[in-house]
Amino acid sequence: MRRSIIAAAGIVQLAVADWQYKSRTDLAPPRLNITIPAADNVEKGYLFVAPFAGFHDTATEQHGPRQAGPYIFRDNGDLVWSGYGIYSIWSTNFQAARWKGQDVLFSFEGDHNAGYGHGHGHTTIMDQHYETIRELRAGNHKLTDKHEFHVVSDNTAVIQIYQPVPYDLTAWGASEEQQWIVNAIFQELDMSTGEMLFEWASLDHVTPYEAVLPLNPGQAGSGYNSSDAWDYFHINSVDKNTDGDYLISARDACSVHKISGSDGSIMWRLDGKNSSFTLGKNVTFCFQHHARFHPELKSENEGDNIEYISLYDNSAHGTEDGRGTEVHTAPTSSGKIIKLDTDAWTAELVQGFYPPDNLRSKSQGSTQLLPNGNVIVNWGSEGALTEYDSKGNVLFHFYMDSGYLDLGVENYRGFRYNWTGLPNEEPAIVALENDEGTTVYVSWNGDTETKTWRFYAVTGKYGAKSFLGEAPRVSFETALEIPNKQVMHVVAEAVDARGKVLRSTGVAKLEPEILPATAGKKTPTFVVQDEGQQAWMELK
C-alpha cells in the first residue's frame, strides 16, 4: 500500500530556525503574518521582499528577521526562494527584471548606514539558475547607494549615489566647521559594459533652498564631517521615459523633479518649496519614495501635456525610536497615482491607496502598479505589504514577522513579479525514521517548476531503484511517508507539469529522527495548513 502525504503541516517553534524545514535545517525565513488573506483577484506572480531588522537586539528584546535577506514567497506565506547568505552582506531592493531578453534577479549588496539611510555597495544580477552573471558598480569613482537600481531599456539601468563634498554652507546657517553636504547624484549605466552613459548631480541644479530639513544634528546631517554631511536633497528613486527624460524623487525636498535627458535642466518640480503645479486635493506628499512614470495610464485623447506618475507618500520623518511621529504631514502614509497637466500646470490625485491599521512609515516604501490594474504598496519601516484593486480596495495584507513572531522588521521595497526559477543546485533530501515510521523530506530552494516529487528506494550493488510513491509539491518542503520495510537508501525526482524529470536528489540514508521537545509545553506554533491557508495555533 502506498500512501502520500503533504508535509506542509510541520509544527515549529517561533522566532528560531528550529524545526521549520527538515531538509534545510539551516533556513529560517521570515514568517508572513497574513492579516488579510489574498482575494481571488490579486495579480498573478510571486512576492519579492528583502526584510531586515530595523533595530539592534537588546538584552531583553530580539529583533527579526533572524535571517535578513532577499526572499520570494507565495501569497500563502510559503517560501519559494531564500537568498539568505547567497546575496550576502546587506541586501535590498530585490527584484526580477528583463535584461536583453533574459529573466534576471537583481539586488543591492553592500554596507548599510541606517542612521543616515545611505548604502555603499554594488548591484548583483543573477540568472534563472541563481548564478551571479554581473556585478555593476557606479561610474566615476563613486559607490552605488542602496535606493535605486532600475532597468530603463533593453541594456541600461539607472542607479544613484550620495557623494559627500565640501561646500560653503554659511548662507544656510552653518558655523565655520560645518562644511560638508551630500551631492545627490544619479547615473545611467550600460549593463553589459558598466560604462556610464549619463550623470546628473543635484548641486549643479538645486540649491539648499529646496531642503525641508535644516542643517541640524539628528535631522539630515549637520555637515561637520563627510559621514555627517547635510543630506539636503536625498534622491531615493530614478526613472526614465521613452523621451529620454528622467524622474527623480527627492525625499528631503518633499518633491519630485523631472530632469531633461539632453541637458540635465529641471523641466518641472511637483510639490516642495517651489512647485510648478497647483496641487489638487490630497496630492501633496512629503518624505516620499519610488516615483515612477506611467505612460500606459494615458488615454488616447490625452495630449503631450498630460503625464501620469505614481509614488509612495511616507508623509512622515523621524527617528527609529520615535517611529516617525516627530514630523508628519498626513494621518497615514499612502500610495498615490497623480495626473499632471503641463498646460494648465495642475496636479490631481487619480487614486490614493490608504493603509489597513493606519500605518505611517517614517522611512522606505514603494508603490508598484501591476499589469491587471492592481497596486502593491509596501510600507517600508512598518514591514508590511498591501495589494489593492485599482479603486483602492484592499485585497491582501501581511506583515513580515510581526507581533510575537519577531519585532521590528522593516522592508525597503516590495513587489510582485512572475518568475521561473531553475536552480543549479541539487534538491535537498533527508529520510527520517521514528517509532511511527519513516518519512522522506525534499526541498529545492528557488525551484518554481516541480509539480510532483517521486520517491525511490535504492537497492543493490548497482543502485537499482524501486518506486516508493509520489507526492504533489504544494509547499517549499514536500514529504512522503514510506512503509517500514527494508529500505535503507532513498532518492527523489522532481517532475514538472508535463511529466518531465527535472532533477534527481542525491541518495539519502535513513537517519533516526529527533523530535522537538515541545510536547506538554504551551508554545505558539506555526502551521501552513494547505495552499491558500495559513493558521496560527497554540499547542495545548
Ligand X SMILES: *[C@@H]1O[C@H](CO)[C@@H](O)[C@H](O)[C@H]1NC(C)=O
Query: What is the per-residue binding string for ligand X in 214-253, x denoting contact by CB under 6 A?
Result: ---x----x-xx-xx-------------------------
* Residue 41 beta carbon to ligand X: minimum distance, rounded to whole angstroms: 12
- What residue is closest to ligand X based on CB? 403
Question: How far is Cα 109 from Cα 94, in angstroms, rounded to an integer?
Answer: 10
Among 209, 305, 424, 484, binds ligand X (CB under 6 A): 209
Q: How far is the CB of 225 from ligand X (least distance, A)?
A: 4
The reply to whether 399 sits near ligand X by the rule CB under 6 A is yes
- How many residues bind ligand X (CB under 6 A)? The answer is 33
CB atoms under 10 Å from CB of 480, counted, come to: 25
Q: Is 107 in the site for ligand X (CB under 6 A)?
A: no
Question: 291: closest CA among 199, 467, 413, 408?
Answer: 413
Residue closer to ligand X by CB (options 289, 503) is 289
- Quick note: the x/- pattern for ligand X over 163-182, rule CB under 6 A, is --------------------
User: Of the candidates 170, 193, 418, 420, which one interacts with ligand X according to CB under 6 A?
Assistant: 418
Taking the complex as a whole, the smallest distance from the CB of residue 490 to ligand X amounts, in Å, to 35
Of 416, 454, 473, 503, the residue at the interface with ligand X (CB under 6 A) is 416
Q: Closest separation between CB of residue 468 and ligand X, Å?
A: 35
The Cα 530–Cα 401 span in angstroms is 20
How far is C-alpha 460 from the geometric centre of its chain's CA atoms?
Answer: 48
Closest CA to 413 of 371, 372, 384: 384
Applying CB under 6 A, the span of 84-92, 298-306, 411-419, 470-478 interacting with ligand X comes to 411-419
Place of cell 485623447: 301
HSE, side-chain direction, 13 A CA sphere, residue 38: 23
Torsion of CA 340, 342, 346, 348, to 10 degrees: -10
Residue range at the interface with ligand X (CB under 6 A); choices 130-138, 159-167, 403-411, 463-471: 403-411
β-pair partners for 348: 339
Q: Would you list the DSSP string of 116-170?
A: TTEEEEEEEEE-TTS-EEEEE--SSS--B-SS-EEE-SSSEEEEEEEEEEE---G
Nearest-angstrom CA–CA distance, 223 and 389: 44
**Minimal distance in Å, beta carbon 141 to ligand X?**
21
Minimum Å distance from CB 312 to ligand X? 14
Least Å distance between CB 426 and ligand X?
Answer: 28
- Asked if residue 423 binds ligand X (CB under 6 A), the reply is no
Please report, to the nearest 10 degrees, the dihedral formed by the alpha carbons of residues 40, 373, 292, 137 taken in order: 50
Q: Which of 38, 191, 212, 405 binds ligand X (CB under 6 A)?
A: 405
For residue 370, state whether it binds ligand X (rule: CB under 6 A): yes
Choosing from 45, 117, 119, 208, the residue that interacts with ligand X (CB under 6 A) is 45
Radius of gyration from C-alpha coordinates of the chain: 25
- At closest approach, how far in Å is the CB of 403 from ligand X? 2
Under the binding rule (CB under 6 A), the answer on residue 44 touching ligand X is yes
Q: Among 6, 17, 19, 35, which residue sits at the site for ligand X (rule: CB under 6 A)?
A: 35
Candidate residues 402, 445, 450, 478; the one interacting with ligand X per rule CB under 6 A: 402
How distant, in Å, are the alpha carbons of 135, 138, 140, 394, 507 from that of 163? Answer: 21, 12, 11, 40, 53
Residue pair 32/77 in contact (Cβ under 8 Å)? The answer is yes
Distance CA 434, CA 425 (A): 29
269 vs 454 by CB, closer to ligand X: 269
352 binds ligand X (CB under 6 A): yes
β-sheet with 477-482: strand ranges across: 477-482, 437-443, 428-434, 511-512
Q: Taking a C-beta distance cutoff of 8 angstroms, is the pair 400, 46 a contact? A: no
Closest to ligand X by CB, 176 or 435: 176
> Footprint of ligand X on residues 459-498 (CB under 6 A)?
none
DSSP code of residue 357: G
Report, in Å, the least distance between residue 31 CB and ligand X: 8
The pattern of x and - marking residues 262 through 291 that bind ligand X according to CB under 6 A reads ------------x-x-----x---------
Binding to ligand X by residue 403, rule CB under 6 A?
yes
Could you tell me the smallest distance in angstroms from the CB atom of residue 64 to ligand X? 10
Task: Label residue 151 left, alpha or beta by phi (over 0 means left) and psi (-120 to 50 means alpha).
Answer: beta
- CA of 489: how far to CAs of 26, 86, 238, 438, 470, in Å? 23, 30, 54, 11, 16
Q: Which residues bind ligand X (CB under 6 A)?
A: 33, 35, 43-45, 209, 217, 222, 224-225, 227-228, 274, 276, 282, 330-332, 349, 352, 354, 370-372, 399, 402-405, 416-418, 536
